[in-house]
Amino acid sequence: MELTNLINELTDKTKTNIENFEIETVDSIKHVYDNAYLEKPTWLGASDIICVFIDMNDSTLISNLKKRATVAKIYMAFTQNLVETLKKFNPSYLDIKGDGVFALFEGENAHNYAIAAAVTFKTFNEKFIKQYCLDSFQVAIDCKIAIDKEQILVKRIGLRDTDKEKKSNEVWAGNLINNTSKLSNVSKEIKDKENNGSSCIVVSEKFYNLLCNDENTKEFTITSCGCPGGKKVKLWKEYNEFDKDVFLNSDNYQKVFYLFSNWCDSHCEEYCNSILQTQIEE
């Protein structure tokens, strides 16, 4: 291998790509794999995208304490079910990041699909995965859940795919996924501080305002169903005691909102379908 020629070639290619960099605005990211450029130094840009980021709590510690086969089984119970749950809510894009997953939603009703998806997996984790892993592997699986809304950029990076092998992947730039991932850490912080046995969903103020301003569904996303006892209460609490400097554009992250609630056994179908304003596939 002629290393000097390789370095010179990559140097020239990088300079050319940077000089010709551009952003092409698109209306949708749903078909991003087909539409995103590979060789051309053009990124696709979209606005008003909502990200749901769900990750396993203390996964590194679990990996260090348990055998590889046990960790693999835990990932099957957690990550595989996480992917399948989120897919039911029709995200425009979904990808695995470590043992966690992020899903991107867009469109007029995206905020409702995002919160319904997050609460659904949280409920399933609390009611099945956590106890199953505790009984089977002596590990209680908690998750960190966060939702945010922002602009985003995407490009395919890698080599041209072949019929037998995918050699490129989507790379997402901008603040959305990074900040949503950091919000998920605030989720763990709140859970630990309140010493609550349930996982916590944290959302940005921007996303929370979407829920509050939706006159058709805020009855179901902002207040409880009244169980138990019949008294409806506000589901969300405000929190501002976190490190704001870790966020890009930190002025937009002076406070967040969080909830610990799951779907109610009596009203889960009614509330979920009222939020979605439709029925999800069985």
Tens digit of pLDDT per residue, the chain (282 long)? Answer: 789 999 999 999 999 999 999 999 999 998 887 888 888 899 999 999 999 999 998 887 788 778 889 988 988 999 999 999 999 999 999 999 877 899 999 999 999 999 999 999 999 999 999 999 999 988 888 999 999 999 999 998 887 777 667 778 888 988 999 999 999 999 999 999 998 889 999 999 999 999 999 999 999 999 999 888 888 899 999 999 999 999 988 888 999 999 999 999 998 999 999 999 865 554
Tokens 């997953």 — which residue? 101
Q: Can you state the angle between helices 110-124 and 268-276, rounded to 10 degrees?
A: 160
In degrees, rounded to 5, the angle at the alpha carbon of residue 187 between the alpha carbons of residues 201 and 228 is 40
Query: Which residue pairs, CB below 8 angstroms and at least 24 apart, start in 84-88?
Result: 85/117, 85/120, 85/121, 85/124, 86/52, 86/54, 86/117, 86/121, 88/117, 88/120, 88/280, 88/281
What tens digit of pLDDT does each residue of 246-282 get?
Answer: 998 888 899 999 999 999 999 899 999 999 986 555 4
What's residue 278's pLDDT?
Answer: 60
What's residue 282's pLDDT?
Answer: 47
Fold of domain 48-149+175-276: Alpha-Beta Plaits (3.30.70)
What's residue 195's pLDDT?
Answer: 87
Share of the chain above pLDDT 70, in %: 97
What's residue 64's pLDDT?
Answer: 78
